[in-house]
Chain A
Amino acid sequence: MPITQRNNVVISGKPDGPAIVFSHGFGCDQNMWRFVAPEFEDQYKVVLFDHVGSGKSDLGSYDADKYASLSGYAADIVEILEELDLTKVIFVGHSVSSMIGVLAAQSAPERINRLVLVGPSPRYINDENYVGGFSPDDIDGLLDSLSSNFLGWSSAMAPVIIGNPDRPQLGAELTESFCRTDPAIAAQFARATFLSDNRADLIDLRQPTLILQCADDIIAPLEVGQFLHEQIPNSTLVNMKATGHCPNLSHPEETVASIKNYLQAANAV
């Protein structure tokens, strides 16, 4: 099966433009970039995809051993870039995809030359002298929550315009549940994410990196953004006004502006 099919890769924008890859985090799928990615289509070749186990990826390719750690997901990203023959890519990773991107960038530096990390965290569980935000019990609580909720969305519910009047056809399209995955896979992805520890991988990151830190984000709190900025050598930290963990959905204009400002400044150098 081609990699592009396995990961439901969708390409849009300028065919010969520089490539920008958007990588979704734990919970949903590439639709998380619905309000952000199109804003880059005039200048860039925009690449969207689903991690294996999420969205419309090939569930048959899910391997519990491979995806028990983030490096399994990172390997897939490198494979996608190789299949599309992309180099000097800007990698935009939300949530856990931030660290997945860091790992991918280190294993394929010729393919990724700049990173944008949205709501990143290298470790979620508190440690000595480190505030990740959570205790192990909290992660168990999340697993309970996942097992109690199937998120079936009845297509009988009236389709609602989702806030983009330029694209009214989106209402009819969205009758599937974008945040519903095989419950066993969801639980395993949760573990791989929330039990991860990539603090040691930060210091060796060579590529210039933008860290977008949200206000009042329990999953990636302010201390974590600060920690990342201190650890990643060539990093820029931007504190957003957006609250919560998904500024790409809740505050797309600010997210887009923050990324574009950073990229413009980088190109001006």
Chain B
Amino acid sequence: MSAPYENFPELLAQESDSDLFENAPNGYLLCMPDGTIIRANRTLLTWTGHDAKDLIGERFQNLLATGDRIFYETHYAPLLRMQGGVREIAVELTCADGSKLPILANSIMTFDANGLPMIIRTSIFGAIHRREYERELFLAKEQAEASKEQAKALAQTLQESLMPPSAPQMGRVEVGTAFHPAGNGSEIGGDFYDFFETATGDWSVVIGDVGGKGAAAAAITALARYSIRAAAITSADPATALGLLNDSLLISPTHKLCTAIYGRLQQESDSAHFRFAVAGHPLPLLVKSTREVIAVGQPGMLLGAFDNFNAATSEVTLTPGDSLVMFTDGITEARINNDFFEEGRVRTFLSNNAHLSAIELASQLADEVLNFQGGFAKDDLAVVVFHLS
């Protein structure tokens, strides 16, 4: 096989060191330590359009735009002096015709026998396209960061507007609520509850759980809250109102499943009646003043799934000292390893704490479930408690 490598010595012999310098693929400058140019190669003269006589004796830094000159004095020159070299400095050279040539420069300082600066050797690389590309990237990065800030602000605003309201005063019925979003709260979840009056003293309550997290779930959560308010005006019957909510969910282009309890609270002289319907949601628990805990209502169907939705309206009466506790499955499904909190633990907790106020009962149940999970909620959890004192 022929060996072209044998020609190496001959090829090299044809290259002269001075040609290697003059016609290098990069510009080359030799300068005094104060920046005075003492030699410039042909490549640089060609790139800048300068004559040798214009450059020799001029200072390198005087060829730079003013901002770059300040940078040279305050960074480039000190670094070169202190470390003996700089690399990849991006500046712009002024050409003979006044135009600016973006370059990258490497410089090294040579030292004499006494260790004092002797000559600066500078390689210059044209960087028009690279600098353009960098500028575009920089702009894109700035735009991306601005969009990110905007999105974050939007998400926060949305999150705040969808947070469940604080508990109102409902006559003699004390209301307590607790809410804990999943994870670190940066994503909107699907748990919700709401309180509203259809007439003075005529209170409606809804608690629900939309499947999933994020923007789609948030949209359905909002839809559910507004639809049930409208439904409550149309029909005083909770089961019918839930049927109207089901219709709204079915019409919505975003398809999500939802569970809920909706009911209306009526107060008598020394009791309170809650008429309600359940749609696939964990049943409310009545906590008697005797510490007995009873599930009330009938399970019903999931919302947002079927045309032939139906639910049953039930009624529960609270006498003084009783509490009614409603919650989302973030409570019962909470788990650590393979151990779920489950309804059993909920009942035990409520029975042991039947004497507490609504606010205390709601928040302590939520805390109990959070601690059970090691402080980190994998799913939203929500609790609503009525207590008749």
Interface residues of A (CB under 8 A from B): 25-28, 31-32, 34, 95, 134, 138-149, 151-154, 157, 159-165, 174, 177-179, 194, 217-219, 243-246, 249-250
Contact = CB atoms under 8 A, between A and B. Distances in A.
B201 interface: no
Given A153-B87, A157-B85, A162-B82, A141 B66 contact: yes
A163 B75 contact: no
A140 B84 CA distance: 29
Given A153-B87, A174-B83, A145 B67 contact: yes
Interface stretch (B47-55, B110-118, B258-266, B301-309): B110-118
A170 to B, nearest CB: 9
Given A148-B90, A218-B70, A244-B35, A27 B78 contact: yes
A244 B115 contact: no
Given A142-B67, A165-B114, A218-B69, A34 B82 contact: yes
23 contacts: A25-B74, A27-B78, A28-B75, A28-B79, A31-B82, A32-B78, A141-B65, A141-B66, A145-B90, A146-B71, A149-B75, A160-B108, A161-B111, A162-B115, A163-B116, A163-B117, A178-B82, A218-B66, A218-B70, A243-B34, A244-B61, A246-B74, A250-B33
Contacts, number: 129
B70 A160 contact: no
Given A142-B67, A218-B69, A28 B77 contact: no
B388 interface: no
Contacts of A144: 67
B67 A28 contact: no
Contacts of A177: 79, 83
Chain A binding surface, main DSSP class: loop
Contact of B71 (A142, A161, A164): A142
Which of B35, B83, B134 has the largest number of chain A CB atoms within 10 A? B83
Given A151-B79, A219-B74, A249-B77, A163 B67 contact: no
Contacts of A139: 67
Contact of A141 (B35, B68, B82): B68
Contact of A134 (B33, B66, B131): B66
B385 interface: no
B83 A178 contact: yes
Contacts of A159: 84
Contacts of A140: 67
A218 B77 CA distance: 14
B361 interface: no
Nearest to A181: B75
B215 to A, nearest CB: 33
A179 B78 contact: yes
Nearest to A217: B73
A3 to B, nearest CB: 26
Contacts of B75: 27-28, 149, 151, 179
Interface string B92-123: 00000000000000001101001111000000
A134 B68 CA distance: 12
